[in-house]
Amino acid sequence: MFDGRRWVVTAGPTYEPIDPVRFIGNFSSGKMGYALAAALAEQGADVQLISGPTCLQPPAGVERIAVMTAREMLNACQEAVEKARGLIMAAAVADFRPQTAAAQKVKKQPGQAVWTLELVPNPDILQALACRKRPDQIFIGFSLETHDGEHYALEKLRRKKLDAIVLNHPYEKGGIGADDNEVTVLYPDGGRHFISYRPKQEAARAIVAELARRFSSE
């Protein structure tokens, strides 16, 4: 399942430039993705960690590929998954980016009350990769919502034809930027596995153990 097999993990946010000094981003720290990369490496996997901007150091034995934007992450993932057994998409990818990024810092004009920023959708990385997914590959997504989490997670699971999705629970139970987390692994057949509130390193090990239990015979 893992020993000697290539696994790709994405982590952290993406930054979408507005101008040379500003960007659109989110509060993702990358901690969950980095913990998953470490947990997979502990099980003998050959791990490629495709990471947006974070302050974290890559786990021992893990190859990190640094990216900044969603489009850079997509390009890195397309190349990495070609020889991979599985993908865990834990990154918090920005859904939108500025239509154009200014070449120079945008200056506030005297008397200016409003600055309008036009946004366009970023590519859906998992959707793009799912179109090229081989039958022997396992794709795992992540979902974090502020409301109706399970509804949106299951919709994402089915729409993107994932093998499983990890639902982060609300902010008061960890999630984005926190050191701890509580998650539920959801499957297309209605199966579920709840992982109680604990440090993200331990939650990552529990997720990897659950994936091994579920998919080791495939």
CATH code assigned at 43? 3.40.50.10300
CA geometry: angle at 86 spanning 16 and 184, to 5°?
A: 80
Given 3-state DSSP classes, what are the helix, strand and coil percentages for the chain, each rounded to the nearest 5? 30, 30, 45
Asked if residue 16 lies in contact with residue 69, where contact means CB atoms within 8 angstroms, the answer is yes
Residue 190 in domain: yes
For the chain, how long is the longest CA-to-CA vector?
Answer: 66
Residue 111 in domain: no
Out of 26, 75, 168, 181, which one is annotated catalytic? 26
- Rounded Cα gap, residues 151 and 160, in angstroms: 14
Task: Give the number of C-alpha atoms closer than 13 A to the C-alpha of residue 128, restricted to the C-beta side.
Answer: 15
Residue 114 in domain: no
Residue 149 in domain: yes
Residue 103 in domain: no
Kindly give the confidence (pLDDT) of every residue in the chain, 218 residues in length, as a single tens digit, with 9 standing for 90 and above. Answer: 899 999 999 999 999 999 999 999 999 999 999 999 999 999 999 999 999 999 999 999 999 999 999 999 999 999 999 999 999 999 999 999 999 999 999 998 888 889 899 999 999 999 999 989 999 999 999 998 888 889 999 999 999 999 999 998 765 566 677 899 999 999 999 999 999 999 999 999 999 999 999 998 76
Residue 174 in domain: yes
Range of 36's domain?
A: 6-96+120-215
Residue 108 in domain: no
Joined together, the tokens standing for residue 54 give: 């974070």
Domain tally, the chain: 1
Task: Give the number of C-alpha atoms closer than 13 A to the C-alpha of residue 110, restricted to the C-beta side.
Answer: 0
CA geometry: angle at 55 spanning 124 and 17, to 5°?
A: 45
Residue 139 in domain: yes
Is 26 catalytic? The answer is yes
